[in-house]
Chains A and B, each alone.
Chain A
Amino acid sequence: MSAAGRAAVSRGILLRLREQLEFTKKGQELLKMKRDHLASETNKLLSKLAERNELDRQLMEAYENMKAAYLNIGFSNLDSQAATVSEIEVRVRSRSIMGVIVPEVVIEKNADIGSISSPSAYKAASKLNDIMEKLIQLAEAESRLESIAYELMMTNRKVNSLERVLIPGLLELIRYVEGRLEEESLEEFFRAKCVKKIIRGAKK
């Protein structure tokens, strides 16, 4: 059953429908803007994710250094060297991008590796320390991308439903109401003509 079939017909309804159409079109424009912004944000994040391969390579290099350190000083000594390293401190806060809540990770304090006395352990730790910041940024980007991609999908659906269902439906309804109103006004005109004719005939 079409929307037109259920609609009551009056000038007031036509005005209201036209207002609703205008509002829907504005909403559609806004959603399109949101979609474009989210898409550009996704593109930015995708370029960041492309760094992952390089990061993987660096991580493998750091692991090789770590292996060398293990071989040089053994598990228990490396464990002891690791005890001198203060923990990295990070704060996760939320940020809104076009209404999408995404996480933002702020490194408040880097790990202090200065007290490591074994040169090979120090080398491995400094490599890992350098990568840690990039790893955190990558994790942040991946998590943002997940939220934004979901929102982008939802926005796209909304834009499509407005574009293909709601707006065409409203236009159809407006056309139907306009047609009915025109018919009614023609009927009224014809009725008035007939009444005039009858009144004139009676006078003669």
Chain B
Amino acid sequence: MKSPSTIYLVTRTHGMRTHLLTDDNFKAMAKSKNLSDIIDLLLRSDYATEIGKLPSEQIDSLKLEMIFLKTLVERFYNLSKNAKGKGREFLENYISRIEVENLKRILRAKHTNTEIENHKLVPLDREKTLINFPALIKAKDVEETASLLRETPYASLAQRIDDYKRLGLTIILESHLDSIYFDKVWEKVEKIENKDSIKKLVGEEIDLSNLQLILTLKMKNIASRQIEEMAVPISYRLRKTNIRRLAQGRLEDAPEALVGTPYVNTIIEILRKSDPSIELETILSKKLYHNASFALRNSSLEFGYIVAYLMMCERESRNLVTITTGLDLGVTEEILLQRLFI
């Protein structure tokens, strides 16, 4: 028996889902010759209000990207605002991926003492987060940034500073932020009633994120011990032995290391590509959004439907960024369609 708040939220999500752009919309946009064609299509969507605020001559792909991200954030927070109880707790933790992304961006800039301004972050209003981003932006280095996070859920980042200093790689801190994030989310998933569908979605997202991290580190020839240390400690269908074998073996042997998991075919598909590093993110994300799309069709009355919707919002945002960026770079429709998550 589902709680009334879950039923209410799922029903709201069904309504909100109708606002999402369809695959046909993306295909039509991929055919566009210039940004104004895309804007015409977007003016009939949730992006209309934000796009309408921009003078037409000022519109470029970077500004549009920020609008897409802002709309994504709005969709995330609107949903969490309507939730109650454990569902709300879960959603609040789930959407903290936005602040994690912003933290990563700040840490990357601090690594080389590059100036970072607010407009380079994902637009996140002050009232939507407990993190003091303006203070982090002003921090003088990575160490100070980590120390400013001591009263937040990311306090343990300071423990990885020594490793960061030793190796000089921000990926250590980024992977630790991911570990903290997934740990929080996984903890909340466990508390949700009828958690099967949501557990599958979030669990596979964690696994895919772990796979991406491990394969990226392998492509960079990072030592296996460090790869194992950096991997997200939580896993769903990926066992510790899979992670160890993946970290210790050669990249070509990755399918063997993943035998018994649902990711073997995905890895084979990646390795078959002429340039696996270029395709890695696209193929893993396609798998993730395929799961979300499946959940939207098959778990229409579960809490998983809400998570699937959030993933599809993210997919929409990424697709729009790809289309507008591709148009700016003069990418052909064929290549664009390959990169889209449809």
The answer to whether A40 has its CB under 8 Å from any CB of chain B is no
A101 to B170, CA, bound (A): 43
CB distance from B235 to the nearest CB of A (A): 20
Q: Which residues of A contact B259 (CB under 8 A)?
A: none
Check if B281 sits within 8 Å of A120, measured CB to CB: yes
Determine, out of B61-69, B92-100, B193-201, the stretch whose residues face the partner at the interface. B61-69
Q: Which residues of B contact A161 (CB under 8 A)?
A: none
Check if A68 sits within 8 Å of B278, measured CB to CB: yes
The answer to whether A56 has its CB under 8 Å from any CB of chain B is no
Determine, out of B151-159, B215-223, B288-296, B300-308, the stretch whose residues face the partner at the interface. B215-223
Check if A117 sits within 8 Å of B171, measured CB to CB: yes
The answer to whether A36 has its CB under 8 Å from any CB of chain B is no
The answer to whether A70 has its CB under 8 Å from any CB of chain B is yes
What sequence of 0s and 1s flags, for each residue 43-87 of chain B, a beta carbon within 8 Å of any chain A beta carbon?
000000000000000000110011001000000000000000000
Q: Specify which of A73, A81, A114 is in contact with B108 (CB 8 Å cutoff).
A: A81
Check if B111 sits within 8 Å of A75, measured CB to CB: no
The answer to whether B272 has its CB under 8 Å from any CB of chain A is no
The answer to whether B139 has its CB under 8 Å from any CB of chain A is no
Check if B278 sits within 8 Å of A114, measured CB to CB: no
Check if A84 sits within 8 Å of B321, measured CB to CB: no
The size of the chain A interface, using a CB distance under 8 A, is: 30
Contact of A76 with B281 at beta-carbon distance under 8 Å, contacts A83-B111, A84-B170, A115-B111 already known: no
What sequence of 0s and 1s flags, for each residue 50-74 of chain A, a beta carbon within 8 Å of any chain B beta carbon?
0000000000000001011111111
A84 to B331, CA, bound (A): 26
Check if B112 sits within 8 Å of A75, measured CB to CB: no
CB distance from A134 to the nearest CB of B (A): 21
Q: Which residues of B contact A122 (CB under 8 A)?
A: 216, 219-220, 277
A77 to B62, CA, bound (A): 11
- Whose C-beta in chain B lies nearest to the C-beta of A118? B281
CB distance from A2 to the nearest CB of B (A): 70
The answer to whether A158 has its CB under 8 Å from any CB of chain B is no
Q: Specify which of B105, B215, B331 is in contact with A71 (CB 8 Å cutoff).
A: B331
CB distance from A20 to the nearest CB of B (A): 65
Check if A67 sits within 8 Å of B329, measured CB to CB: yes
Check if B168 sits within 8 Å of A119, measured CB to CB: no
Nearest first, the 9 closest Cβ-Cβ pairs linking A and B are: A74-B321, A123-B277, A115-B170, A80-B105, A83-B114, A119-B216, A119-B277, A83-B109, A84-B108
Sample of 6 more A-B contacts, CB < 8 Å, known A74-B65, A74-B322: A79-B120, A117-B174, A117-B213, A122-B216, A123-B219, A123-B275
**What is the interface of chain A, defined by CB distance below 8 A to chain B?**
65, 67-77, 79-81, 83-87, 112, 114-120, 122-123
**What is the interface of chain B, defined by CB distance below 8 A to chain A?**
61-62, 65-66, 69, 104-105, 108-109, 111-112, 114, 116, 120, 122, 168-171, 174, 212-213, 215-216, 219-220, 275, 277-278, 280-282, 318, 321-322, 325-326, 329, 331, 335-336, 339
